[in-house]
Structure 1
């Protein structure tokens, strides 16, 4: 995020590079940087003649280079943006020749999503000398809640740890999807609001009581009644709560518990760092570790592997997912 801030600051201050090659698995920052260049570099009256958006599936590298070599009309720069440039992956190395001597009055922006160019080859090495190469890396799940807080802070919103975790559980690590939901919340909630689980439930439709986060917590507490209430809700709403996702999340949870049992230093700060969890949730893991000794955790992990296969239809074609999930809970809590 610091790298993105520096890029944005340089662009605002007109410290422009002739090529911005934006690549990587996380599309959110690629789109943000590209959109910022599109909206900022040229004045509105200059864009008609000097700003061009191309799409990788519709052009060749020669088309891109030809456009980039044009001179601006009545403006200091022209901006050429190539969206979905990953569709040019087979020929992208041909851009290296242009990158050796790029047009100084052109700002060429290449959006190369979900892929990376080979850092051993000429294009990458040349771009590092004459332009900007930005790699947008996918965040790990344990990093997304902090990202949510950082995004909300300058907009004068905060979010509770549970509400942030609900978003991560439901939307995964797709920052674009999460940001879309955050923007919806900012429309309906006044500045200064702390976004709560109730806000998430009312405006996004994620149940604050019946979700995978609450299921894991209930299992860790060995709260059988709550576990079976949540499982019944999941069985009644299978499209919103696919078993394969629940099993995967439980596998990650019990893997963390196994790691916890192996820690020498079980102080809250050390646990939060080792398990890569928010310190707010450390007590939940301490409680779960008391209720699930290491031998039981190992047995549960083995059971989850079995049910992962069965949830995908291997050996359980005739068993409804809800029944399979109930059977899994019996095995875990027994």
Structure 2
């Protein structure tokens, strides 16, 4: 049986019964999903059984199959349940050996012979492991945990019939909004469209290897910061969420919003030396300037404080901060800076200047 990681986590957390629950195969590159599932399993399997009485065995390297079989088939005396976590990927990996001492003339023939012998050894190991994992007693739950799993093996084909298979693949950028809102929903909240855009901008430089575990920690911080509010805004994200290696972008943006030119340029100089990608920084600064410009526009149209707060999607505390920052700018300068940063983004993609051009924009804006 195949199941999506989000669905499996939900079932485990809600303690709902799983079909074919004796063996669970977790595979895929996304560590966050696999780690979350493994973390949820002890409570799911053992319920309120004290930790000291829980029978949990972990095999992560140099696994002896006889010891594995004993752990699976030994009845747990104290609680009547056992959990075996098998993270030793060498057990199901196909190894290719090379012999550097063979002659060139016989290299191809010898390599073929060695590989055939090696595959035969792997086949025997695979068959023995298959026999163990297809005969797991009802009181035991076995979890196979690894990034890679060869679907051509006899073991995988057997587990396809007998086990729950959960492929924990990395999510793509287009899947991120749904993932974010699913996380927010666990707190009874939802991101605004602009808030999701800001998160995508923040994590743009690491999108191909998106660290969901770190992003989940930032969401947990957001839940505390918003204190039960049902809608999480772009300003909430700007105030709280920090991407790995990108914390300086937040500091620079705050310095710009507070009209602290010297401090902003000093931190930018450090990031320039580090070779930090400037595009996420431009996006963050531009978002803040657009927010301040929008405030000025609403104010000039006669909006009252509460109406502006609602229009901008801000909490009372965040709104007061925007009002304070807005005093450093007028509409004309904000518009000029926003247009200039747009041009920087276009020119960078064409091989144009980056940090120097942004420095000039900020100097014009803040002097």
TM bucket, shorter chain = 0.5 to 0.7
1:81 lines up with 2:80 in the alignment: no
Q: Taking structure 1 as reference, are residues 16 and 47 closer, same or farther at Cα in structure 2, changes over 3 Å only?
A: farther
1:98 lines up with 2:146 in the alignment: no
SS in 2 for 1:155: coil
Query: How far apart, CA to CA, are the structure 1 residues paired with 2:359 and 2:148?
Result: 42
Query: How far apart, CA to CA, are the structure 1 residues paired with 2:140 and 2:200?
Result: 40
Contact kept, 8 Å, 2:23 with 2:141, in 1: the verdict is yes
Contact kept, 8 Å, 2:24 with 2:163, in 1: the verdict is yes
Aligned residue number for residue 128 of structure 1: 160
1:197 lines up with 2:234 in the alignment: yes
Q: Taking structure 1 as reference, are residues 97 and 246 closer, same or farther at Cα in structure 2, changes over 3 Å only?
A: farther
Structure 2 residues without counterparts, runs of 5 or longer: 95-124, 254-261, 283-338, 361-367
Shift of the alpha carbon at 1:119? Answer: 0.6
Query: How far apart, CA to CA, are the structure 1 residues paired with 2:194 and 2:4?
Result: 26
Q: TM-score, normalised by structure 2?
A: 0.55
Aligned residue number for residue 268 of structure 2: 235
Query: How far apart, CA to CA, are the structure 2 residues paired with 1:16 and 1:76?
Result: 18
SS in 1 for 2:24: strand
Q: Taking structure 1 as reference, are residues 46 and 327 closer, same or farther at Cα in structure 2, changes over 3 Å only?
A: closer
Shift of the alpha carbon at 1:62? Answer: 4.3
1:303 lines up with 2:351 in the alignment: yes
1:185 lines up with 2:213 in the alignment: no
Query: How far apart, CA to CA, are the structure 2 residues paired with 1:143 and 1:210?
Result: 29
Among 48, 66, 75, the residue aligned to 1:71: 75
Among 186, 191, 195, the residue aligned to 1:159: 191
Aligned residue number for residue 311 of structure 1: none
Shift of the alpha carbon at 1:78? Answer: 1.3
Matches within 5 A, 1:1-334: 4-5=6-7, 8-9=10-11, 12-13=16-17, 15=19, 17-45=21-49, 47-57=51-61, 59-82=63-86, 84-86=87-89, 90=93, 93=126, 95-112=129-146, 115-171=147-203, 172=206, 173-204=210-241, 235-238=268-271, 243=275, 245-246=277-278, 303=351, 325-326=355-356
Larger deviation: 147-156 or 162-171? 162-171
Query: How far apart, CA to CA, are the structure 2 residues paired with 1:248 and 1:204?
Result: 13
Per-residue CA distance 1:252-308 (angstroms, 9 max, x = gap)? xxxxxxxxxxxxxxxxxxxxxxxxxxxxxxxxxxxx9xx99xxxx8x975638xxxx
Query: How far apart, CA to CA, are the structure 2 residues paired with 1:51 and 1:116?
Result: 27
Q: Which has the higher contact order (CA 8 A, sep 6+)?
A: 2
Considering only CA atoms, is the larger Rg found in Structure 1 or Structure 2?
2
Q: TM-score, normalised by structure 1?
A: 0.59
Structure 1 residues without counterparts, runs of 5 or longer: 212-228, 251-287, 305-322
Query: How far apart, CA to CA, are the structure 2 residues paired with 1:21 and 1:63?
Result: 20
Shift of the alpha carbon at 1:80? Answer: 1.6
Total equivalences in the alignment? 251
Contact kept, 8 Å, 1:61 with 1:88, in 2: the verdict is no
TM-align CA RMSD: 4.2
Shift of the alpha carbon at 1:58? Answer: 6.4
Q: Taking structure 1 as reference, are residues 149 and 80 closer, same or farther at Cα in structure 2, changes over 3 Å only?
A: same
Query: How far apart, CA to CA, are the structure 1 residues paired with 2:83 and 2:27?
Result: 18
Per-residue CA distance 1:296-334 (angstroms, 9 max, x = gap)? x8x975638xxxxxxxxxxxxxxxxxx76437999xxxx
Contact kept, 8 Å, 2:24 with 2:164, in 1: the verdict is yes
